[in-house]
């Protein structure tokens, strides 16, 4: 079911609003990820956090789940979903 979501890269730039299902919003969010050293949040209609992409400030190991990797500078880990997809 399509809902309205607000994507916040927590940098002051690149944020957007998208009406779709959460799965599609996550895909679109990943397209815009850059090296910012900030968590990425997706908020619902009432600005409640429905998904979080954590920034990990270290090199990834083979046991880590990596969404985007920036080598020794850090990486984005696994999405934390607070709303059913």
Domain residue ranges in the chain = 3-81
Burial (CB count <10 Å: 0-12, 13-18, 19+), residue 12: exposed
pTM score = 0.91
- Overall average pLDDT of the 43-69 stretch: 96
Predicted local confidence at residue 15, as pLDDT: 96
Compute the CA torsion angle 10, 12, 18, 21 (nearest 10 deg). Answer: -10
Q: How far is CA 64 from CA 2, 33, 51, 56, 70, in A?
A: 31, 18, 18, 10, 13
Mean pLDDT estimate for the chain: 94
């Amino acid at each position: 079911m399509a809902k309205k979501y607000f994507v916040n890269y927590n940098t002051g730039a690149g944020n957007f609003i998208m009406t779709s299902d959460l799965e599609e919003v996550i895909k679109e969010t990943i397209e815009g990820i850059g090296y910012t050293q900030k968590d990425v949040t997706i908020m619902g209609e009432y600005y409640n956090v429905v998904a979080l992409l954590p920034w990990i400030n270290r090199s990834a190991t083979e046991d880590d789940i990596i969404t985007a990797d920036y080598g020794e500078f850090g990486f984005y880990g696994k999405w934390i979903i607070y709303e059913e997809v």
